[in-house]
Amino acid sequence: MKTTTHPLASALAGLGIALLVAGCGALPDKPARAKLYDFGPGVSAMATAPAAAPSPALPMLALAEIEANTRLDGTQILYRLGYADTNELRPYGQSRWSQPPAQLLRQRLRDSLAERRTVLGPEESATLARSKGEVPDTLRISLDEFSHYFDSPASSAGLVRLRATLIRGGTGGDRVLGQKTFTVRRPAPSADAPGGVKALAAASDAAVAEVTQWMDALQRQPRQ
């Protein structure tokens, strides 16, 4: 016996197929993966010119973990609109640092300082003091500002501000050899996250160079 399909049933079936196809087409794409950035390989890693004659080695140094305000604990790349609200820190949506800025900066600083002296971590320094009675100088860094700062929509810079304290330990107790605040700006090539990354990497390298030069002078002071 021949079966006759009711027109209404055919229409409903067609509507269901259409809705299914439309629904499949409307499924959201996979969320875009955030781009990860760091400071790059560093100037010394890219240098091709012959190295200069080595300078005399300086005293051993313990480099403490860098302290940073809580907003800099994460991996967000932050910017400020100085022309709108300089007090508000805003994150770029799909761009991240590969590590928190304090860790990236500490690695850059350690590489630079290690060119002239032996650089120890906090645990290595404590072990040395217990086993041999040697107390190296200790460098403490506080990272206070690390942002892509916009003076205007068309003008921006990487802004890094940190405070360095050099402490010398001895039998009579610790004493502060010096403390200094370093503020460095470097222009951004573009008004976006990649431009901010380049500017902050350049500002960080400049700050590291200034801290290293300051440290070299302080560590030449004779121990008392």
Q: Are 119 and 109 in contact (CB under 8 A)?
A: no
Please tell me the pTM assigned to this model: 0.79
Residue 169 has what pLDDT? 76
Phi-psi region of 113 (alpha: psi -120 to 50; beta: other; left: phi over 0): alpha
Q: Between the ranges 64-73, 144-153, 162-171, 213-222, where is the mean pLDDT highest?
A: 144-153
**Burial 24-34, CB ≥16 within 10 A → b, else e:** eeeeeeeeeee
> DSSP letters of 125-150?
HHHHHHHH----EEEEEEEEEEEEEE
CB 197 within 8 A of CB 173: no
At 6-35, the pLDDT tens digits run 554 555 555 455 545 445 445 555 566 889
- At residue 45, does pLDDT exceed 50? no
Task: Set out the domains of the chain in order of their start, with CATH numbers.
Answer: 59-218 (3.40.50.10610)
Q: What residue type is 102 in one-letter code?
A: A
Measure the CA–CA gap between 158 and 146, rounded to whole angstroms.
7
